[in-house]
Amino acid sequence: MCDGVRQQTINASPRTQSSIAVSSDRTDWVLFNASPDILTQIQQCGVLQPARQLRDTGICSIVLMDAQIDHTTGLLMLREHQQPLSIWCTAPVREDLSEGNPLFKVLQHYCDIDWHEIELNETQQAIPGAHNIQFLAQPLISNAPPYSPHRDQPVRGDTIGMFMRNTNNNESVFYAPGLGEMEPHVWATMQKASVVLVDGTMWTDNEMIERGASTKTARSMGHLPQSGPGGMIEWLEQLPPTTRKILIHINNTNPILNQDSPERMYLTQRGIEVADDGMEIEL
């Protein structure tokens, strides 16, 4: 897939690693996950750098959905922040990033961090950077990083999804880039959302094995595959017809990245979109 993009032999676009940013006014932003590509993403998204002063940033808060490397390494690229980074995550994620992969300890030598615990008790929270948006975290079944003591034995809070509601018009989005199992509370939340941005990592459960890229299945890594019984597509097709359905966090082995692939056409026929860099969603 990657070689096909480089050689321009397939109809696909390069993508940076999965991340989103949320704003009420396009000036202040809440960043969800800080990927290793964060500097490129800031350069490509000018609103994140308003340049009001030296080393300015539009990023007011950072929400971590888990402690995975592809969602946290970019924190090191933000170390020159003039104030402590306002980081929102669960207690298990804080533990993993303090001990197993001690990013938080490293950042203490630079800008430091201002940690806020994300609650998992059905309490809506306000997060600085999005003043008219209510955030409701949902615990998900996925898997903790390899350096976590919870690896293959996940605990509540290792991975979360986030339901975000615009209090001005009640439009909403559910964001879950890592979703390994559809639990009743997650499904109920998805059915309420105007837009769902959900795990699109792999097309089949054994995709990585078949391609010789890994010995692990999608489910063992905490990702519900799109196809097959109980797969993500089967769930998305049961959502109300008015729900906008978007797959995000797509692995480079997934054939849906090729816009001419049968798998991509299958999604298109079912009204399921594939996220790409620069995508904007207004609610």
**Total residues belonging to the chain:** 283
Report the C-alpha gap between 68 and 61 in whole angstroms.
Answer: 18
Which residues contact residue 110 at a Cβ distance below 8 angstroms, ignoring those fewer than 6 apart? 79, 80, 81
Going residue by residue through the chain, which has 283 residues, state the pLDDT in tens, using 9 for 90 and above: 899 999 999 999 999 998 999 999 999 999 999 999 999 999 999 899 888 888 789 999 999 999 999 999 999 999 988 889 999 999 999 999 999 999 999 999 999 999 999 999 888 999 999 999 999 999 999 888 999 998 888 899 999 999 999 999 999 999 999 999 999 999 999 999 999 999 999 999 999 999 899 999 999 999 999 999 999 999 999 999 999 999 999 999 999 999 999 999 999 999 999 999 999 999 9
Beta-strand pair 244-248/195-199: parallel
Instruction: Identify the residue whose tokens are 């940033």.
Output: 57
Residue whose structure tokens are 């196809």: 227
Question: Can you say how many angstroms the Cα of residue 229 is from the centroid of all Cα atoms in its chain?
Answer: 24
Question: HSE-up of 130 (CA within 13 Å, CB side)?
Answer: 23
Distance from C-alpha of 139 to C-alpha of 250, rounded to nearest angstrom: 21
Which pair of structure tokens corresponds to residue 225? 């595959």
Q: List domains and CATH numbers for the chain.
A: 11-122 (3.60.15.10)
Q: 């459960």: which residue's tokens?
A: 205
Three-state secondary structure call for residue 160: strand
**Under 8 Å CB-to-CB from 208, ≥6 apart: which residues?**
202, 214, 215, 216, 217, 218, 251, 253
Encoded tokens for 224? 């519900």
Nearby residues of 78 by Cβ (< 8 Å), 6 or more positions away: 34, 38, 57, 59, 62, 85, 111
